[in-house]
Amino acid sequence: MAGSLNKVQLIGRLGADPEVKQMVNGKSVARLSLATSQSWKDRNSGEKKEKTEWHRIVVFNEGLVNVVQQYLKKGAQVYIEGQLSTRKWKDEQTGQDKYSTEIILQGYNSTLTMLGGSNSNNIASTSQNKNNDFDQTNQQNNNDLDDEIPF
């Protein structure tokens, strides 16, 4: 349908180490559990409240899967852009249809950027062209200012 848009943008923290598996076709896929939170002050009690949403992220883009596998761990803060997708599957025990809504990172319109973190080297990874090229930017430590620029 022309004129439609399916784009999700999230900033959150990983709730667990990423899970990377090999598919039947030999390519790798990464699954992430991403938490986003919002906080507010209750009008009546003045108490601080917080609500956390959990998002299932599935990364099919090979370059991004490599970054996920090498650099992401539980607690890492990331920015992602992907597409919302709901898939249907059968529960093997009950035979009932089940549904899972996920954010898919696949193709040229997907982005994964590492934010913050405890180390001083942040890596931004983006795949945003039709050739699925993988760009990696490594920000330099203050101590490494004399090193060559990597691009």
HSE of 119, CA atoms in CB hemisphere, 13 A: 12
pLDDT at residue 123, as a whole number: 40
pTM over 0.85: no
pLDDT averaged per 10 residues in sequence order, the chain, 151 residues: 89 96 93 95 92 96 91 95 93 92 91 73 39 35 42 36
Where in the chain are the domains?
8-37+49-142
In whole angstroms, how far apart are CA 40 and each of 9, 35, 50?
21, 17, 6
Q: Are 138 and 123 in contact (CB under 8 A)?
A: yes
pLDDT attached to residue 10:
97
User: What is the C-alpha to C-alpha distance for residues 47 and 64, in angstroms, rounded to an integer?
Assistant: 40
Contact (CB, 8 A) for 17 and 74: yes
Largest CA distance in the chain: 62
Strands (E), the chain: 8-14, 19-22, 28-41, 48-59, 77-90, 97-105, 110-115, 123-127, 135-138
Q: Which pair of structure tokens corresponds to residue 148?
A: 């060559």
Q: What CATH class has 8-37+49-142?
A: mainly beta
pLDDT of 1:
62
Is residue 90 within 8 A of residue 125, CB to CB? The reply is no
